Each structure stands twice: as structure tokens, then as C-alpha cells.
Amino acid sequence: MTAEQSYEDAGDGLAHPFVKPFDVQKVRNDFPALHQTVHGKPLVYLDSAATSLKPSVVIDAVASVYGRDCANIHRGVHLLSARATERFEAVRTQVAEHIGASSRSEIVFTSGATSGLNLLASTLTQAHVRSGDRVLVSMMEHHSNIVPWQLACERVGAMVVPIPLDKAGALSLEAYANLLDTKPKIVAFTHVSNATGIVNPVQKIAAMARDAGALSVIDGTQAVPHLEVNVAEIGVDFYVFSSHKAYGPNGVGVVYGHKALLDALPPYQGGGDMIRNVSFSGTTFADPPTRFEAGTPNISGVIGMGVALAYLRNLGSDARVHEKSVLNYAKTRLRELPQVSLVGDSEHQVGSVSFVIEGVHPHDVGTLLDKAGVAVRVGHHCTQPLMEHFGVPATVRASFGVYSTCDDVDRLCDAVNATVAFFR
């Protein structure tokens, strides 16, 4: 697949001489799924917040595990197992560097953000939360960062208390400060909202939690694909994300945990690999991160995630600048459309824009956009409390990746206009 490097070759003098312009066409050639038609029209994929497309290097890496280094890890002395183990464990080091962890033993592999958040909710609650205690959870969370806390807190008789939002959908720092006075044990919040794209002031939120003596847990699922994340700079205790929204395979996620805190947590699931010694008279457990990785992990998935993060790193900050300009273009154009209102419009926003069309239910919008070849997500985006906050049952969400273009946005707006006309 060779890229037509039209943008770079054009020499139109627009690009700054010392900045390599971002060649989105070249990037698009890396993603095979982009090159298909849907209902006879070239696909416009604006659903990256649900799952991102995968570059060929990731697809090939997964295939190379199954086609060559196909073995179970850790417990084998044979060469295939050694090769698979080495590739797998190298990703742990890479992830630690990617998000600024201080040691590879702070990186736990899970089967996704959801299972990572459940791991934390369950073990943190078991270790640190008692009957009558409080856990703060923001109202803009994905269900994956609400329900695990409800289930875990119910078990010990603790309370999950929502952190309110302001009208625009941003977290209310004032209300948060007041809630911290109630001495919660844990504060859980998202880095970036998957429904609105709003970016939380995570450094501030984490610092306030720390000052109040609470542990902090960040859901970074929508941040890792779009932002440079550094857990040390943020100053957070635990950070969670999924591979499949960051150009990697599905069925894989990461939990970062500050070493001393991870050390103090009980195991989550039991099984192979996470033990020191098993006996019916008493079982002892391995140290972190192994303690939290019961059973055969998603070996090919972890290796593929490593390739995806390397791909993303390699694109560099140009990709982020590009994504931001596409998002801004989308917001500008959508605002101009009659009957369209943005939901959760903010200066601090990445990756996604949500909107509603007056008089047309998002579900119908979704179907009409699909017929026009434009893939968006419609619904509550697993954020029912946030939808309730905005007083809508659902929104239309367009979300972007490194391969998104302003052309995509134009196709979206044309289809929105046609939808409005259809239901007039």
C-alpha cells in the first residue's frame, strides 16, 4: 500500500518549513477498514470513540503471534513460549513508559477498561472501604465507572455519591470541594467524557482528592487515544484504559496502579499465574502485577496493543493537532446548521462532539446517516446519568481518530441536512 503523498508533495507553501505537515492520506492508507463502501457510498467512519479502526501493523502483529509465536507465556521453557513471553512482557515496559509510570510492575493487563475498573472497585473497596464510607463518582461517567462502584459498595455497605456537573456538562469543582469535606475514601472520574469529549482538569481533581486523603481513580479510556498522558504529572493513584479505543485489538486493557498501593491490594480473580503456592490448606499469592493477572491473558491482544501505542507515538503531536482541527471544524460547521444543538460544548474537548436535531430522534438520525455512508453512534453512550443531566434521552455522537478529515465532516453535515429535510 503506497500513499499518495499529495499534501506533502503539493509544495503550496502553506506548511511551516520546519514542521512536517500531517499527511492524513498516508495515515488513511494504513487503515484497511476505511477503504470500503457502505450502502454504495465510501465509508465515513465517525465512531472511533466506540472503537477505533486498526492500522495494518496491528492486524499483522496479531496474525504473527498466531502464525508464528503461538504459545502460552510465562510457564514454558520452549522457544515459542520464550518468544511470546518476551514480546508480551516488552509491552509492559512500553506501556509504563507511554503513560509515565515509574516501573513496569505498576502495569496490570486486563481484558478491557471495564474489567480494569471492576478490578479496582472490588479490590480497593475490599481493602479500604467500610460500612458507611463514601466513594465519589462523577455524573459524567461511563456506566463502567459507575456500576462497579455500586456493586462493590453495596457489598460493604458504603455509599456511591455523585459529583454534580454544571449546566454545560463540566464537573463542578465547587460541589466537588464540598463533597471532599465528607472525607470520601475514593474519588473516581473520567479523564475525557466519552459522550461529550469534555476533558476534565484531572491534575486538579487528583490533587484535591489527595489533599482530602482520598484515593483517586481515573478512567482514561477516551484520553489515551487523543492526549499525551502522564500519570506521574497528573498525580493520580490508579489509571485505566482499553486497547481497542486506541488503535489496538479488543479484549485488552490496562490498569496502572501506584506501586505501594497495588502491593496492598488483595487479589481479584484466582487462577493460574497469580499464585505463589496453591494448597487446600491455604494459598499464597504472587506480587503485583502478576497477582492481578489470573489465567491466560490475551497474549496476541497485548502484543497488538504494544504495536498500536508505538504507531500512535510515532505519529506524534502532529496527529493530535490534526484531530483537534477536525473537531473544531466539525463544531463550527454543526453550530451553523439550523435545528442542530451541540450537547456538552466546551473549550476543553477532544475526540468527540455530541448533538441533537430538533424534532428528529437520534436513532432515526443514525439510520439516515448510515444510509449516507456515515457511521456515527446514537444513544445514551452508556452515560444515562449524564443524559438525564442534559435532559435528553440520547444524542448523536461523531467521534474522530487520526484518520479523520474535514471531508468526513462535510459528508456528515450533508447527511444531517438531508435528514432534517427528510423528516420535515
Partner 1 sequence: MDLGELYQELILDHNKHPRNFKRVAECTHHARGDNPLCGDKLSLELVFDESGRVRDIGFQGVGCAISRASSSLMTEAVKGKTRAEVLALFDLFHRMATAPMDAEHVEMAGLGKLEAFSGVREFPMRVKCATLAWHTLHAAITEGDSLVTTE
Ligand X SMILES: Cc1ncc(COP(=O)(O)O)c(C=O)c1O
Instruction: Show the cell assigned to 20.
Output: 512536517
Choice between 94 and 352, CB closer to ligand X: 352
Kindly tell me which residue out of 52, 122, 138, 242 binds ligand X, with binding defined by CB under 6 A: 242
Sites for partner 1 among residues 145-164 (CB under 8 A): none
Part in contact with its own copies (CB under 8 A); list of ranges 1-9, 18-26, 32-40, 197-205? 32-40
Contact yes or no for 69/82 (Cβ under 8 A): no
Contact yes or no for 15/322 (Cβ under 8 A): no
Sites for its own copies among residues 261-290 (CB under 8 A): 267, 269-275, 277-280, 283
Sites for its own copies among residues 177-216 (CB under 8 A): none
Other C-beta atoms lying within 10 Å of the C-beta of residue 391: 7
Distance between CA 398 and CA 278 in Å, rounded? 50
106 burial type by CB count under 10 A (0-12 exposed, 13-18 middle, 19+ buried): buried
Choice between 145 and 300, CB closer to ligand X: 145
Distance between CA 245 and CA 254 in Å, rounded? 12
Among ligand X, its own copies, partner 1, none, residue 222 binds (CB under 5-8 Å by kind) = ligand X
Choice between 81 and 126, CB closer to partner 1: 81
> Is 190 near ligand X (CB under 6 A)?
yes
Choice between 24 and 368, CB closer to partner 1: 368
66 burial type by CB count under 10 A (0-12 exposed, 13-18 middle, 19+ buried): exposed
Residue 159 pairs with which residues in a beta bridge? 134
Sites for partner 1 among residues 37-96 (CB under 8 A): 74-77, 81-82, 85-86
Among its own copies, ligand X, partner 1, none, residue 219 binds (CB under 5-8 Å by kind) = ligand X
Part in contact with partner 1 (CB under 8 A); list of ranges 130-138, 157-165, 201-209, 359-367? 359-367
Q: Which residues lie closer than 8 Å to 178 by C-beta, 6 or more apart?
A: none
Query: Binders of ligand X: how many residues, by CB under 6 A?
Result: 17
Active site residues: 382
Q: Which residues lie closer than 8 Å to 415 by C-beta, 6 or more apart?
A: 368, 369, 372, 373, 374
Among its own copies, ligand X, partner 1, none, residue 190 binds (CB under 5-8 Å by kind) = ligand X
Please provide the size of the chain in residues.
Answer: 424
Sites for its own copies among residues 289-348 (CB under 8 A): 294-301
Among partner 1, its own copies, ligand X, none, residue 59 binds (CB under 5-8 Å by kind) = its own copies
Part in contact with partner 1 (CB under 8 A); list of ranges 320-328, 331-339, 354-362, 409-417? 354-362
Distance between CA 255 and CA 219 in Å, rounded? 10
Sites for ligand X among residues 283-302 (CB under 6 A): 295-296
Taking the complex as a whole, how short is the minimal distance between the CB of residue 235 and its own copies, in angstroms? 26
- CA neighbours within 13 Å on the CB side: how many for 419? 30
Sites for partner 1 among residues 206-265 (CB under 8 A): none
Taking the complex as a whole, how short is the minimal distance between the CB of residue 224 and ligand X, in angstroms? 10
Residue 8 pairs with which residues in a beta bridge? none
Kindly tell me which residue out of 48, 85, 114, 395 binds ligand X, with binding defined by CB under 6 A: 114
Task: Print burial letters for 352-368: b (CB count within 10 Å at least 16), e (below 16).
Answer: bbbbbbeebebebbbeb
Instruction: Show the cell assigned to 285.
Output: 499469592
Among ligand X, its own copies, partner 1, none, residue 423 binds (CB under 5-8 Å by kind) = partner 1
Choice between 234 and 372, CB closer to its own copies: 372
Contact yes or no for 369/412 (Cβ under 8 A): yes
Edge-first strand order for the sheet with 377-379 is 340-343, 352-357, 395-399, 377-379
Distance between CA 203 and CA 197 in Å, rounded? 17
- Site for ligand X, rule CB under 6 A: 112-114, 142, 144-145, 190, 194, 219, 221-222, 242, 244, 272, 295-296, 382
- Site for partner 1, rule CB under 8 A: 74-77, 81-82, 85-86, 275-277, 286-287, 290, 360-364, 367-368, 371, 378-380, 384, 387, 393-394, 422-423
